[in-house]
Structure 1
Amino acid sequence: MKNLSIRLLVPCVVLGALTASAQPVTMSPLTTWGTGGWLAPGAGGYAYLGTGNNERGLAYGNGHVYLVSHASVSGTTANVRMLDPNTGADLGGLNNSGITGGTFLVNNIAVGGDGTIYVANLTTSTATSAFKIYSWATEASVPAVAYSGTGGISGARLGDDLAGIGSGASTLLVAGYNSSPSVAGNNGFAVISPSSASATAVGFSGTPPNAGDFRLGLTMSDSSHVLGSAGSSLYSYASFSGAAGTLVARPAIPDPAGATADRLLGYTTIAGRAILAVGSVGDSHVSIYDVTDPTNPIWLASGNNTTGSLTANGNGTGEIAWGPNVVNGDGTTSADLYTISSNQGIQAFVVTVPEPSAIAMAGLGLALLAMCRGKRRIDR
């Protein structure tokens, strides 16, 4: 019995140490971004980021962060700015020639897997002003009209949010219908195919989802699933095929700080793990969740890089953008996370996730530690 105890001692100690050193998911400020991870409204006199409800769109692509602003600067309100992903410094703007129409000429943004940039206008009624999406093949391109029309429902309001997935001819964009004006089908969302310049209204039978449930926060987990939010402390997780939508679940957001103002959504995978970022349009705090099962989000971490008193985000608008995965070489993978809550600036975080092998080793360590504890009880 003593020999068995000795043989078990070494692996118990080694794997116990591995378990203790297994790293949890962490979320920390990207300290080189702005000041302490926060680019505050108007910092340094920056005209494209203020407190006038003009900045609502944010995306990452081609090694840059893109900011959409309809603030009037140098005679135009069609501003799409390129920001340095490490510092937030303005690197210039995209060409905006030929952009016309809508309540706001530009409002929200998504980037395809091939680097194509898509920017949507905002229209309060597609019956009187077309919903438009412009595309830039490269940052040096002149914008082309990728889509112009009703977005599938005449009279709907569109452009409050935009999300996308895929690349090239397989690119899909989604935009949530607003609850106002009240039109049939506004409890769903539009799916836009830039390659065919067509839009399909995805509808649901019965309620929920309720009118406008996909109008503020919107993200795609794959080419047939959408997560959306509006004015409640939960999100709608839906699947779609053609024009038919199915509400899979409406899980509550388990935010330890309270989810009453949690609206903004951004999905990604880090080291193969499904992660959902959720941003508050109240105090601007941001939380991340494991959504391996999207019907049961599990809280992982939260952060807030803002300081002082914030201007209210009365419209509940903004957007979340994820940077690419970076393998750190220490058993973890990181991705930068960027969030904008209108009137409250842009925050940047570094989210670090243990790689699956590290998680598996930690689990093995826990199992062996349990066995060792059981062995000690037997020896007694």
Structure 2
Amino acid sequence: MKKFGPLLTAHCLVLGSLSANAQVTLNPLTSWGNNGWLAPGGADHYVTTGTTERGLAYGNGHVYLVSRANVGGNAINIRIMDPNTGADLGGLATSGISGGTFAVNAAGVGGDGTIYVCNVTSADSSANPFKVYSWATESATPTVAYSSGTLLSNGRIGDALAANGSGASTTLVVGISNANPSAPFKGYGIVNPPANTGTAVTVSAANTTDFRLSLSFTDSSHVIGTEMDSGTPYYRYTSFSGSSGTLIASPTIPDPGNKKADRLLSYTVIGGRAILAVANTVDSHVSIYDVTDPINPVWLASQTNTFGSLAVNMNWTGAVAWGPSHDNGDGTSLADLYTLSTSQGIQAFVVTVPEPGVLTISGLGIGLLGVCRGRRRMKLDGPCCTGRTDSAPQTQGAG
């Protein structure tokens, strides 16, 4: 029997630890709903199989759901949800909210905790303006943070919303489209709620539907959006300054699964690593990508917590929301991920990511790891943090 010396054993122990940390995992947050899925049409009357839930956001230690379900005679709802279980904790005040094709639709939260919810107007005008409401705290009454009938005259505005920055530096990006074939709009809207100003940003090299249904900031001057309907889906990576937008790249989304309906997305940074989550609006599977180089996304993992037959998300709507990133103290960081596909409920995941340096060191030791694994079986997964249970089933790519 071949024996290993103490030096090699020590190397195996070190590299084994690095190998364990080098796996990017996408696991169900099992305490949320039923094993990570809050199915529609159940005990939560605000999560339906209809088309009334399209907005989701995370902030202030809670998940916020925008629902137009008529519950007790009220069809304007922004619900506060427990981030671990999905339990309904009550709702934000909605007095004074009115107007629009949909009075409420999408949500975002600023870095200072201010909550923003927008309406949808299908024909932006002084009579039917696009509006953004804000709540300074969960106990506050809403105020009109932005209202304008001229962001894009007669355009459809508000199908998607994302927030960036805080305080006076808060900016929102909103989905815009129009039905004017002679002058189609290609781009998105940038709103500064503290200043009550908005600008339609034109990205002339894009298509008219590239930014309507899902948007995300990557920083204060870059926005990504998914192409609305394509056999080979891609996302648009853009920069903007004032009303001018530049299409930097249109990378294909490298989803090994049913990629055609990959339409909902959100960007975050976990442990110093840029991560993009993309949700599918047909089978509700979710994939995560390394977008350290946003022009060349790398698939990391895919997962769905749903089961059985799903209602059809006929409008391809929904939202993706990230919780904050936490350092586990072992060379990995994690963040909770929440996805809403309209009519298909809300899923919750735990994404665990090794720090970039851990990956580099682990890569250097790959040959020695092969020897080490011949000696003993490595344990790759374990509890992510106290009081949390994250189950193992997943499809996983190279970290």
2:225 pairs with 1:228: yes
Deviation of residue 264 (structure 1)?
A: 0.2
Aligned-partner SS, 1:86:
coil
2:121 pairs with 1:112: no
The answer on whether the counterparts of 1:157 and 1:181 sit within 8 Å (CA) in structure 2 is no
Deviates more, 1:23-32 or 1:179-188: 179-188
Change (3 A) 1:61 1:9: closer
Could you say which residue in structure 1 is the equivalent of 2:36? 37
Offset from partner CA, 1:227-252 (integer Å, 9 cap, x none) = 11122311111100111100001111
Change (3 A) 1:344 1:163: same
Could you say which residue in structure 2 is the equivalent of 1:313? 313
2:335 pairs with 1:338: no
Q: 2:85 aligned to 74, 84, 87, which one?
A: 87
How many residues align? The count is: 364
Distance 1:13 1:108 in 2: 50
Deviation of residue 180 (structure 1)?
A: 3.2
Deviation of residue 54 (structure 1)?
A: 0.1
What is the TM-score of this pair, normalised by structure 2?
0.87
Distance 1:261 1:248 in 2: 23
Deviates more, 1:355-364 or 1:318-327: 355-364
Letter in structure 2 aligned against 1:89: A
Could you say which residue in structure 1 is the equivalent of 2:130? 131
Aligned-partner SS, 2:194:
coil
The answer on whether the counterparts of 2:178 and 2:184 sit within 8 Å (CA) in structure 1 is no
The answer on whether the counterparts of 2:124 and 2:151 sit within 8 Å (CA) in structure 1 is no
Deviation of residue 61 (structure 1)?
A: 0.3
Letter in structure 2 aligned against 1:314: M
Could you say which residue in structure 1 is the equivalent of 2:274? 274
Larger Rg: 1
The answer on whether the counterparts of 2:16 and 2:369 sit within 8 Å (CA) in structure 1 is no
The answer on whether the counterparts of 1:27 and 1:349 sit within 8 Å (CA) in structure 2 is yes
Could you say which residue in structure 1 is the equivalent of 2:146? 147
Aligned-partner SS, 1:300:
strand
Cα RMSD (Å): 2.1
Letter in structure 2 aligned against 1:262: D
Could you say which residue in structure 2 is the equivalent of 1:158? 157
What is the TM-score of this pair, normalised by structure 1?
0.91
Offset from partner CA, 1:343-372 (integer Å, 9 cap, x none) = 0000000000012342233134248779xx
Distance 1:160 1:63 in 2: 25
The answer on whether the counterparts of 1:337 and 1:350 sit within 8 Å (CA) in structure 2 is yes
- Unaligned stretches of 5+ residues in structure 2: 371-399
2:169 pairs with 1:170: yes
Could you say which residue in structure 1 is the equivalent of 2:262? 262
Could you say which residue in structure 2 is the equivalent of 1:215? 212
2:293 pairs with 1:284: no
Deviation of residue 259 (structure 1)?
A: 1.1
Aligned-partner SS, 2:99:
coil
The answer on whether the counterparts of 2:123 and 2:155 sit within 8 Å (CA) in structure 1 is yes
Matches within 5 A, 1:356-371: 356-366=356-366
The answer on whether the counterparts of 2:162 and 2:217 sit within 8 Å (CA) in structure 1 is yes
The answer on whether the counterparts of 1:15 and 1:365 sit within 8 Å (CA) in structure 2 is no
Matches within 5 A, 1:235-250: 235-250=235-250
The answer on whether the counterparts of 2:216 and 2:266 sit within 8 Å (CA) in structure 1 is yes
- Unaligned stretches of 5+ residues in structure 1: 1-5, 371-380
Aligned-partner SS, 1:119:
strand
Aligned-partner SS, 1:21:
helix
The answer on whether the counterparts of 1:151 and 1:158 sit within 8 Å (CA) in structure 2 is no
The answer on whether the counterparts of 1:172 and 1:193 sit within 8 Å (CA) in structure 2 is yes
Change (3 A) 1:134 1:353: same
Matches within 5 A, 1:38-53: 38-44=37-43, 46-53=44-51
Change (3 A) 1:183 1:218: farther
Could you say which residue in structure 2 is the equivalent of 1:72? 70
Distance 1:321 1:158 in 2: 20
The answer on whether the counterparts of 2:177 and 2:209 sit within 8 Å (CA) in structure 1 is yes
Identity among equivalent pairs (%): 57
Deviation of residue 10 (structure 1)?
A: 6.7
Distance 2:90 2:15 in 1: 52
The answer on whether the counterparts of 1:15 and 1:368 sit within 8 Å (CA) in structure 2 is no
Letter in structure 2 aligned against 1:134: Y
Deviation of residue 20 (structure 1)?
A: 3.9
The answer on whether the counterparts of 2:18 and 2:358 sit within 8 Å (CA) in structure 1 is no
Deviation of residue 22 (structure 1)?
A: 3.8
Distance 2:22 2:153 in 1: 51
Letter in structure 1 aligned against 2:128: S
